[in-house]
Every structure is written in C-alpha cells, then in structure tokens.
C-alpha cells in the first residue's frame, strides 16, 4: 500500500487557512485532519477531540518526554502541540493527513518531517489582511501594527515551503490546494518506479 502524505497548510493568521481546510475536508472525505493537543481550557462550544484534544499539564509534559509531538509550543503559559502517533498511524494506513498550523509550527514540523508537503496560504494583500483582522474585532492600533509586522515576518519564511496559494477567491484557493494534493499523488518516486516496471514486465 502507498503511504499517505502529510499536507501542512500554514500561513499568517487572517490568511484564511482555517476556512480553506474546512472546505477541503468537506469536499474530499478521504482526507483526515490532525487535531492539536492543548493544555488550555475549552472555550464555549469547543469539543474535545474535534477542536482540540484537551489535556492537563502533566499529560502534555509526559508526551513531550516520550518525544510524542511533531511540534509543540508554549503560548502565554498554555501548551499547544501536534501529537505524532495519530498522524503517523493514518499515513501508515495510506490516509492523507491535513495539518493546519501557524508558520512557527510548520517550520518545526519541516525539521522533524521534511517529507511533508508545505503549503503557504497568502492573503491577497496586506490591506485585505488588515480588513480580515479588523473583521474579527477588538484590535487596537498598536496590536494591529504588531500583528501585521508578525505576518510580514512569517511571509518572509515562505521560501521554506513547497507551494503558495493566494486566498483571494475562496473556491479558487480551495481548488488550487486540491490540485496540489492530486498532483503530489501523480509524482514519480523510486519505490513506485520499480513496482510499475515489474508489473508491466510480469504481464508481458
């Protein structure tokens, strides 16, 4: 069986990576979404195992000690991380996995799993990014400037990625990511070359 692939969908906050992932998972039921683990408390409406795996601090730290994360980070005192096991199990079963993550996390994953396919979601412009962040409400001028500066710094890491998709029109961006997933499955790899040649040889 062909191993599944890991598609890491990343980009600055406000670029729309979450919406794109949701659409792709809706349209392609063969894909699975990796669910993060966190030590922060669930917010209203958040479901354990769906939005996050909610665990306590000591469970998280144990998993760190077991090298159980593809990446993790401490964000203002709360841990967030991508548990390794579920992702690896799915891929061993031939399932393709989508991982939605911020740029810092994606760069960490690239170190531990460079075979992943790294897709950077870009906002159409800084102006539009500003509008989207404003649309989420409650930004002061200062925090806005800080967020845009952070976004620019994140965009500077784009050369670490394999693909970039500009999220101007949502459906177009979704189609682009779907095309990347399809094309990656048409790529030729050495293991497969041998299998193909042997199969035709046997038939002849």
Do residues 87 and 109 make contact, with C-beta atoms less than 8 angstroms apart? no
How far apart are alpha carbons 105 and 79 in whole angstroms?
Answer: 12
Q: State in angstroms the smallest separation of the CB of 6 from a second copy.
A: 16
| Residue located via tokens 């669910």 | 35
Q: State in angstroms the smallest separation of the CB of 91 from a second copy.
A: 20
Indicate the burial class of 73 (C-beta count within 10 angstroms; 0-12, 13-18, 19 or more): middle
Beta carbon nearer to a second copy, 19 or 184: 184
User: CA 179 from chain center: how many Å?
Assistant: 16
Q: Where on the chain is the footprint of a second copy (CB under 8 A)?
A: 119-120, 122, 125-127, 148-149, 151-152, 155-156, 158-159, 161-165, 175-176, 178-180, 182-184, 186-188, 190, 192-193, 196-197, 200-201, 203-204
Beta carbon nearer to a second copy, 88 or 166: 166
Number of residues written out for the chain: 204
The Cα-based distances of 66 to 59, 63, 78, 113, 176 in angstroms read 11, 5, 19, 17, 37
Looking at residue 158, the DSSP 8-state letter turns out to be G
Q: State in angstroms the smallest separation of the CB of 185 from a second copy.
A: 8
Q: State in angstroms the smallest separation of the CB of 130 from a second copy.
A: 9
Beta carbon nearer to a second copy, 82 or 167: 167
Beta carbon nearer to a second copy, 61 or 196: 196
């Amino acid at each position: 069986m062909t191993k599944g692939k890991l598609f890491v969908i990343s980009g600055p906050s406000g670029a729309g990576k979450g919406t794109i992932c949701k659409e792709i998972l809706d349209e392609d039921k063969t894909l699975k979404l990796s669910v993060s683990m966190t030590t922060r408390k669930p917010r209203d409406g958040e479901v354990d195992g769906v939005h996050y795996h909610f665990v306590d601090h000591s469970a998280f730290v144990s998993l760190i000690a077991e090298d159980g994360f593809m990446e993790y980070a401490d964000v203002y005192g709360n841990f967030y991380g991508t548990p390794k096991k579920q992702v690896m199990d799915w891929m061993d079963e031939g399932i393709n996995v989508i991982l939605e993550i911020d740029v810092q996390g994606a760069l960490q994953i690239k170190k531990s799993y460079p075979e992943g396919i790294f897709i950077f979601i870009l906002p159409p412009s800084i102006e539009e990014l500003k509008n989207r962040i404003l649309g989420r409400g409650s930004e002061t001028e200062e925090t806005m400037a800080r967020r845009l500066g952070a976004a620019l710094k994140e965009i500077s890491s784009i050369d670490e990625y394999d693909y970039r998709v500009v999220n101007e029109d949502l459906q177009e961006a979704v189609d682009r990511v779907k095309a990347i997933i399809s094309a990656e499955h048409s790529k030729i790899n050495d293991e497969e070359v041998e299998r193909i040649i042997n199969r035709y040889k046997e038939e002849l």
